[in-house]
Amino acid sequence: MKKELTKEQKKEAYDVMEMWEDDVLQRYPENQEKAKEEFRNYDAPGIDTVKQFYKTNHEFQTYDFVLGKEKQYLSLNMREMKLWDAVEFLNTLVDDSDPDTDLDQTQHLLQTSEAIRADGHPDWFVLTGFLHDLGKVLCLFGEPQWAVVGDTFPVGCKFSDKIVYPEFFSLNPDSTNKDYNTKYGVYEEHCGLDNVHMSWGHDEYIYHIMKDYLPEEGLAMLRYHSFYSQHRENAYDHLMVKHDHEMFKWVDTFNKYDLYSKAAVPPNVKELRPYYEDLAAKFLPDTLKF
């Protein structure tokens, strides 16, 4: 396993994650009439950071890179942890310098899951909300932020102009590779998303960690919650089958809780922990492989 990050590196990773989430909120506001400046806002350097993030992401998320990361991580041999140990491990990414929140990662996860629970959704849905960002432990395994967060998209075929900052894909060698730069690339029409390799990040990682334990609807939420070019822009219908579209109804339902559940008052972790420990015990083994 790679050497764990320094405190400064953890803060940098946390800052990039928060800026990316803010950027998504500005691109896809809950209320389309709401002025952009009413959302969490960063000054120009923050915007420049997001732009630089996507420049790097789009340059290096190649088909071969993704296959290499799948080989590296999907054997799930990085670490074994109990669920709450994994959550507390992720908490080390909290950044005291964040301008808008002093929430640790547990509180952020609980805000999402508690909003889901308040609306009366099934227990597996609530647990999915609690788990959805746990794959960000990749940062703590030494992965750069551009290989952990950010909008996800298929690799091995032409990059859609509906992906954020599509101009940066000109830096990606796959964009000039005749095997990958056509509409279908290495895939076939309506091959189904199970047969498509997505850009590498926390979504794909947590999906594989949980794929034997949650219903397929929950797994779709985990795997595609950052796939905005599809569930907001419908850019990859040509690769999807009917079943994918059925699953994306659940992804769309989950998305509002992922994006719009932040609140000023943090959840009480101590009070809620017993409920989530019992909930996890219904679906998950005592120890998880990461």
Range of the domain at 276: 7-289
The answer to whether position 1 is within a domain reads: no
| Whether pLDDT at 16 is above 80 | no
Give me the number of domains the chain comprises. Answer: 1
Cα(290)–Cα(287) distance, rounded to whole angstroms? 10
Q: Which of 163, 187, 148 is nearest to 63 (CA)?
A: 187
The answer to whether position 274 is within a domain reads: yes
pTM over cut 0.75: yes
Contact 204, 67 (CB under 8 A): no
User: DSSP string of 273-288?
Assistant: HHHHHHHHHHHS-SSE
List the helix and strand counts (H, then E) for the chain.
11, 2
Using CA atoms, how far residue 154 sits from 169, 199, 229, 288, in Å, is 13, 6, 10, 27
- Residue-wise pLDDT for 196-238, tens only, equals 999 999 999 999 999 999 999 999 999 999 999 999 999 999 9
- Residue-wise pLDDT for 256-266, tens only, equals 898 766 666 78
The answer to whether position 2 is within a domain reads: no
- Residue-wise pLDDT for 42-65, tens only, equals 344 456 888 999 999 999 999 999
Contact 223, 203 (CB under 8 A): yes
The answer to whether position 158 is within a domain reads: yes
Least confident of 66-80, 82-96, 187-201, 238-252: 82-96
The answer to whether position 109 is within a domain reads: yes
Q: Which of 114, 115, 113, 138 is nearest to 128 (CA)?
A: 113
